[in-house]
């Protein structure tokens, strides 16, 4: 189900924003379409720093000077830990060649090595060695808070090492 939602989301975003209104549509439909169009444009053109969460509801982690982002998702009930590789806007998935991503996670002062495996998805045409999605199933079951680092990530010739992460990210108060 998550893969289908991801495929639909990617398809919607790749379609772009700013389509013309169709003639002959009912007034209520026009109003709803205009509302959705505005929301999509506001989201699409907002800066990454303005986004509290990624497209899938995960935590955004910038890489380097923000040229790429990781979207980190964690389900404490199942223990699943998932990472998506995203572009500089955190709106478009970026496929990489790695077969896995290794992390060292600190949970309650105890270090744990976790390997996220590449996910092949025939719906969107991704394969192991050409994917944006990595998962470690059941790796952090019952854990609600952790910190750690991604050992190394290679994206289009760039290498990122010791990428620090804290989950959940502490949000700054704007008051």
User: What pairs with residue 131 in β-bridges?
Assistant: 96
Q: What CATH number has the domain bearing residue 117?
A: 2.60.40
Phi and psi of 58, rounded to 5°?
-90, 175
The per-residue pLDDT for 63 is 95
Phi and psi of 6, rounded to 5°?
-60, -45
Residue closest to 10 by CA, chosen among 110, 91, 72: 91
For the segment 153-166, what is each residue's pLDDT rounded down to a tens digit? 999 999 999 999 99
Would you state the pLDDT for residue 169? 81
Q: Is residue 31 part of a domain?
A: no
pLDDT at 141 over 70: yes
Q: How far apart are CA 138 and CA 151, in angstroms?
A: 20
Residue 171 has pLDDT above 80, yes or no: no
pLDDT at 170: 61
Q: Would you say residue 161 lies in a domain?
A: yes
For residue 13, tell me if it sits in a domain.
no
**Distance separating alpha carbons of residues 135 and 171, to the nearest angstrom:** 25
Asked whether residue 149 is domain-assigned, the answer is yes
Q: Which of 81, 51, 42 is nearest to 69 (CA)?
A: 51
41 within a domain of the structure (yes/no): no
Q: How many domains does the chain fold into?
A: 1
Q: 153: closest CA among 61, 81, 75?
A: 61
Across the range 88-102, mean pLDDT stands at 97
Helix (H) or strand (E) holding 167: strand 158-167
Coil, helix or strand for 72? strand
**Strand, coil or helix: what is 42?**
helix
Find which of 32-41, 51-60, 100-109 is predicted with most confidence, using mean pLDDT.
Answer: 100-109
Q: State the average pLDDT for the chain.
A: 78
Q: Within a domain: residue 98? A: yes
For the cut 60, the answer to whether the pLDDT of residue 172 exceeds it is no
User: Which SS3 state, helix, strand or coil, does residue 35 take?
Assistant: helix
Find the mean pLDDT for residues 10-22.
Answer: 42
| 67 assigned to some structural domain | yes
Q: How many residues appear in the chain?
A: 175
Terminal C-alpha separation, the chain: 39
Q: What is the pLDDT of residue 139?
A: 97
Q: Which of 17-26, 29-38, 142-151 has the highest mean pLDDT?
A: 142-151
Would you say residue 23 lies in a domain?
A: no
Range of the domain at 149: 48-167
Residue-wise DSSP of 128-163: TTBBSEEEETTTTTT---EEEEEEEEEETTEEEEEE
Given a cut of 50, whether residue 75 has pLDDT beyond it is yes
């Amino acid at each position: 189900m998550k893969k289908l939602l991801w495929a639909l989301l990617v398809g919607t975003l790749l379609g772009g924003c700013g389509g013309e209104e169709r003639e002959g549509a009912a007034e209520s439909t026009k109003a709803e379409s205009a509302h959705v169009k505005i929301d999509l444009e506001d989201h699409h053109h907002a800066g990454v720093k303005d986004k509290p969460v990624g497209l899938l509801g995960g935590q955004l982690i910038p890489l380097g000077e923000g040229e790429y982002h990781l979207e980190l998702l964690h389900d404490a009930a199942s223990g699943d830990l998932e990472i998506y590789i995203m572009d500089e806007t955190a709106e478009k998935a970026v496929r990489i060649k790695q077969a896995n991503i290794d992390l060292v996670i600190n949970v309650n002062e105890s270090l744990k090595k976790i390997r996220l495996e590449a996910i092949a998805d025939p719906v969107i045409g991704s394969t192991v060695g050409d994917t944006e999605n990595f998962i470690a199933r059941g790796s952090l079951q019952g854990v609600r808070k952790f910190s750690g680092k991604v050992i190394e990530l290679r994206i289009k010739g760039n290498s990122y090492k010791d990428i620090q992460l804290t989950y959940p990210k502490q949000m700054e108060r704007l008051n």
